[in-house]
A and B are shown apart, each in its own frame.
Chain A
Amino acid sequence: MELNIWRFASPQVIYPIAGRMVPVFMALAALFTLAGLYIAFFVAPTDFQQGESYRIIFIHVPAAWMSMLIYLVMAFWCAVGMIMNTRLSFMMALALAPTGAFMTFIALWTGALWGKPTWGTWWVWDARLTSELILLFLYVGFMSLHAAIDDVRRADRAAGLLALVGVVNVPIIYFSVQWWNTLHQGASVSLTRAPSMASTMLAGMLVMTIAAWMYGIAMSLMRLRTIVLEREADSDWVQELFASPACGAKA
């Protein structure tokens, strides 16, 4: 029997599936977080230059990677929504945005916490820090534009277009900021680490990245479920779901 993937574009179909996936991804996130933190605190050696303070890298780098990946995924769903005219794609993009903004914020926050003991300052106008800050602005812009438009269909499409404009601009902004930084004689501190990184450090970072990834999926799916319910509140299947004695718990 041929599998019809278009079936999964229906909010009604995806709602219970997402409901079953959320606990799985939450469990995976918890598992990988525990494993990652164990490696981070007990297995990975102390850095000979930065001492113990470098260990924040295990939160910082996964958050920074996820912040960029989620923006790309968000823009991808917006593109799918604009091309295929599928409602669920826009719901997915909307569900991803707060998690992406959250990851960006974590990356900036932990970066500041890491910068203080390492460089002696909370913030430098380094290319990567600056472009991460601009990424946060792009997320906030996406969410604000969506929130400001009452008509859901229009809000979806307008915010979707903005995400696509943003994704085209991200490389331009990134390289501009990088060249700007080198033009300004470079910062006195460099983010470049010592080239040889202990393999356990790398392993810890990768495990934490998987944890962040799983967490991101779980959170987005949870948010997707509430968005689906909100938008489909008048439909028969949602009415039925909440009319049952279990009050939606069975899904």
Chain B
Amino acid sequence: MNPAHEGRAGLAAVFVSVVQRDLLLAVRRRADVLTSFFFFIIVVSLFPLGVGPEPNTLREIAPGVVWVAALLASMLALQRLLASDYADGTLEQLALSAQPLTLLVLAKILAHWLVTGIPLVLIAPLLGLQFDLPVEGLVAMTAGLLLGTPVLSLVGAIGAALTLGVRGAGGLVALLVLPLYIPVLIFGAGAVSAAVSGQSVEGHMSLLAAFLLFSLAAAPWASAAAIRIAVE
């Protein structure tokens, strides 16, 4: 086996092992994962109580409510993406390792999305039903969340990395990350509204996919730069 090929195999192996490690940690600390999941459900459930049980109103606000709740839940989950690894020195070891930090960060983001993003995608149709959304709306919501939640994890990772070990990191991360989430919110919720009113969702989905590709290319790199600033 030539060295170049060996190097590539090593990279893939490292990527997989980082994903496995983070998933294992998530399984061991189930309560952490469930917190943001139930936070999502509770926030969505609060709106009918605040706005009133009128089905027409609920149908109208459902896309926005579910998406805003997804934004908040995803932001809440960012606390666990890097903070504990930063506290126990793992992040520093990752930064020092021979493998590119960008790729390792991407592996961590992937694992994070699998345990925090996927549950939101899966539970969203059920919450949509509570808001009396028609089937087209539920499909658009699930598809939109499937494309949008990875963007939230990717962009959020930059905010999480910038606020590592910083005073009041929780509130600060909201201030940094939520404005950057706005495009995803607009087109995610817009897709559901369009689907409900019988319009095509292709444009919305294409833009969400474009955000995903762009953030996939740029966000791990920016997060890695932010981690280097933090562990320097």
Contacts and interface: CB of A to CB of B under 8 A. Distances in A.
Interface of A: 134, 137-138, 140-141, 144-145, 148-150, 154, 157-158, 161-162, 164-166, 168-169, 172-173, 176-177, 179-180, 183
Interface of B: 158, 162-163, 166-169, 172, 175-176, 178-180, 182-183, 186-187, 190, 193-194, 207, 211, 218, 222, 225-226, 229-230, 232
A154 B186 contact: no
Nearest to B171: A144
Nearest to A137: B179
Given A145-B162, A145-B176, A157 B182 contact: no
A165 B158 contact: yes
A162 B163 CA distance: 11
Contacts of A154: 229-230, 232
A179 B172 contact: no
Contacts of A180: 186-187, 190
Contacts of A177: 182, 186
Given A134-B179, A145-B172, A162-B162, A183 B190 contact: yes
A158 B190 contact: no
Contacts of A169: 179-180, 183
Contacts of B167: 148, 150
A190 to B, nearest CB: 20
Contacts of B182: 134, 173, 176-177
A154 to B, nearest CB: 6
A9 B201 CA distance: 52
* A138, A165, A183 — most chain B CB neighbours (10 Å): A165
Contact of A144 (B175, B183, B211): B175
A149 B230 CA distance: 10
Given A158-B229, A183-B190, A145 B163 contact: yes
A155 to B, nearest CB: 9
Nearest to A159: B162
Majority SS at the chain A contact face: helix
30 contacts: A134-B179, A134-B182, A137-B178, A137-B179, A144-B172, A145-B162, A145-B163, A145-B166, A148-B166, A150-B167, A154-B230, A158-B162, A158-B226, A158-B229, A161-B158, A161-B226, A162-B162, A165-B158, A169-B179, A172-B183, A172-B211, A173-B183, A176-B182, A176-B183, A176-B186, A176-B187, A177-B182, A177-B186, A179-B186, A180-B187
Contacts of A134: 179, 182
Majority SS at the chain B contact face: helix
A57 B9 CA distance: 62
Contacts of A183: 190, 193-194
A187 B167 CA distance: 41
A168 B218 contact: yes
A10 B118 CA distance: 51
A165 B167 CA distance: 21
B34 to A, nearest CB: 29
A179 B210 CA distance: 15
A161 B158 CA distance: 9
Contacts of B232: 154
Given A141-B175, A162-B162, A165-B158, A157 B186 contact: no
A161 B229 contact: yes
Contacts of B194: 183
A43 B127 CA distance: 61
A141 B183 contact: no
A166 B32 CA distance: 30
B50 to A, nearest CB: 20
Given A138-B179, A165-B180, A183-B193, 12 more contacts: A134-B179, A141-B175, A144-B175, A144-B176, A149-B166, A154-B229, A158-B226, A164-B222, A166-B180, A168-B218, A169-B180, A173-B182
